[in-house]
Structure 1
Amino acid sequence: MRRDHGDRGSATLWGVALMGLLMAVATALATVGSVRVARHKVNDAADLSALAAARLAIADPEGACARAAALAVDNGVNLVKCEINDEVADVWTSLSITVPLVGARELTGRARAGPAQPGSPR
C-alpha cells in the first residue's frame, strides 16, 4: 500500500530559502563593511594630507597644498580643497564609490592641522 505525502521535498525548499536569506544578509554586511572602509580611507587621507600641509604651512604655503594633493593621490583619494590660514591647514578630500542597489556616491573627508596654539613655537 502506497501513501501519497503532499509535503515531500518541502525541506529542500526551506533549505534553499534559508540559504538565499543568509546570502542576502552576508551581501548586506559586506556592502556596509566596504562603505565603512571607504569612509575611513577618505578621512585618514584628509588627516595625513592636513598634517603634511601644516608642516610646510609657514615655509612654503603653495608647496604645502601641492604636498597635500600628492599625499591624497598616493592614498587613493582626490584633494578637493586646501586652504592655508597662518599656520593652520584645512584640507577636504573626496572618494567616489559605487554601492550595489544604490549606485554611485561621493564620500568626503575634512581635516584641519596646525600647532596646538597658533603662534606657539614649533
Structure 2
Amino acid sequence: MKSAEARAARGGDRGAATVWAAFAACALCVVFGVVLALGQAVAARHRAGGAADLAALAAADRALWGEVEACAAASRVAVAQGAELARCAVRDGVSEVTARVVRGPYRPEVRSRAGPPEQAPLPPETARLPERAPEAAPLPDEAPETARTPTRPPVAAQAPGEPS
C-alpha cells in the first residue's frame, strides 16, 4: 500500500509525457502522409497537363495529314510522357486532346487544344491604312555659301628679322 500512497502523493501522472509524445508522433505521421498524398496528386496532374499539351501540339502538327495520323502522333507523344491518350479529335486544323495519367489512386485527365491562331479583328484606329505614305519633311533653308567655307586660323604677325 505504501507504493500506491507514494504515487498518489507525487501526482499520479507518471508516464504522461510518453503518451503525449506517442500522440504527437502519430499526428506528425498523419500530416506527413497527407502532404505526400497531395504531392503525388499534384505531380500526376502536372504530368497529365504536360502530356496533353505536347500531344495536342503533335496532333496539330499532323492535322493536314488526317485525323488518324494526327491522333497516332498524339498517342505516341502521350505515351512517351508517361500518359495515355483518352480522347483525340481534329477539326479544321485544330486538335483537341485529353490525356490521362494513372499514378496510384490518382487518375487526372487534362484536356488541351492546339491549332492555328485565330484571326482577331483589328481595332478601328488601326483598321484603316493610310492611302499614301506621308511626305518627307522639307529640308531647312540652306545657309549661305560663305558660312560653309572653312576659315583659316589667323596668321600671327612676325617681327622683322625673325625666321619664318
Which TM class, normalised by the smaller chain length? 0.7 to 0.9
Candidates 77, 82, 91, aligned match of 2:88: 82
Counterpart of 2:79, as a letter, is: V
| Distance in 1 (alpha carbons) for counterparts of 2:30 and 2:58 | 42
CA RMSD of aligned residues (A): 1.9
Map of 2:39 onto structure 1:
33
Q: How far did 1:44 drift? A: 1.1
Q: How far did 1:61 drift? A: 3.6
Any idea what the Cα deviations from partners look like across 1:15-35, whole Å, max 9, x if unmatched?
010010011001001101100
Map of 1:108 onto structure 2:
109
Give percent identity, aligned residues only.
35
Map of 2:69 onto structure 1:
63
| Distance in 2 (alpha carbons) for counterparts of 1:69 and 1:62 | 10
| Distance in 1 (alpha carbons) for counterparts of 2:68 and 2:21 | 63
Larger strand share, 1 or 2: 1
Q: How far did 1:95 drift? A: 2.2
Q: Higher relative CO (CA 8 A, sep ≥ 6), structure 1 or 2?
A: 1
TM (norm. structure 1) is 0.83
Structure 1 residue runs of 5 or longer lacking an equivalent are 100-104
Any idea what the Cα deviations from partners look like across 1:30-70, whole Å, max 9, x if unmatched?
10110011011111100000011111112444221111000
Structure 2 residue runs of 5 or longer lacking an equivalent are 120-164
| Distance in 2 (alpha carbons) for counterparts of 1:18 and 1:106 | 33
Moved over 4 A (4+): none
Q: Which has the larger radius of gyration?
A: 2
Map of 1:21 onto structure 2:
27
SS in structure 1 opposite 2:116?
A: coil
